[in-house]
Chain A
Amino acid sequence: AIQLTQSPSSLSASVGDRVTITCRASQGVSSALVWYQQKPGKAPKLLIYDASTLDSGVPSRFSGSGSGTDFTLTISSLQPEDFATYYCQQFNIYPLTFGGGTKVEIK
């Protein structure tokens, strides 16, 4: 199975900060990568699919990049509602796998 390693596992940041989360795959997944946001007590929400395509309604401060094995989720200016846990997921090959998550906390 393809392993996805997210880093960091957690970070503290302030409103307005630029935040970058990385997701590294144990083997190439082309652009078959999704990013989700999960807030406490809520189901995950799809943010970005195909590595860089913003889902409908997702603010433009979110962006995704990468292909192959290295991917990045960037929040250009962190907002209060962005404090959450973020997961990457590959869908290039079964079994589908998720990264371990990155918790973004308030500094």
Chain B
Amino acid sequence: EVQLLESGGDLVQPGGSLRLSCAASGLTFSSLGMSWVRQIPGKGLEWVSSISNIGGSGSPTYYVDSVKGRFTISRDDSKNTLYLQMNSLGADDTAVYHCVSGRLRFHYWGQGILVTVSS
């Protein structure tokens, strides 16, 4: 059974930072592109970032414009873990963040982790 388990969500003040983690199991993590998709509770879905499956520091990465320069996606294939480093957080970043398998289309989804940006 495929499991994607997010962690690291929290209440953070505007301008603060958080790092989300996603522990993957039941799939060949190193062979898959991975992504983060967020959803404001009660609202629609927004793609945030994707990383290819090349591995190491050379994996191509992609970001939605609104997070470029603030968020960094990375992966550790030895730990089957995906990360999202989020800096300079603002109220607009408040959402449930889902870890998803795939770089283009998303087959497996984690249940999501809530990030709240508020003073």
Contact = CB atoms under 8 A, between A and B. Distances in A.
A17 B109 CA distance: 29
Given A42-B111, A44-B109, A99-B44, 4 more contacts: A36-B106, A91-B104, A94-B50, A100-B44
A20 B24 CA distance: 35
> From DSSP, what is the main secondary structure of chain A's interface residues?
loop
A95 B112 CA distance: 21
Nearest to B109: A43
Contacts, number: 50
Interface of B: 35, 44-47, 50, 62-65, 98, 104-107, 109-112
Interface string A30-72: 0010101000001111100100000100000000000000000
A3 to B, nearest CB: 12
A97 interface: yes
A89 B45 contact: yes
Contacts of A98: 44-47
7 contacts: A43-B110, A43-B111, A45-B109, A55-B107, A89-B106, A95-B62, A98-B47
A43 B112 CA distance: 7
Contact of A87 (B45, B62, B64): B45
A45 B107 CA distance: 7
Contacts of A100: 44
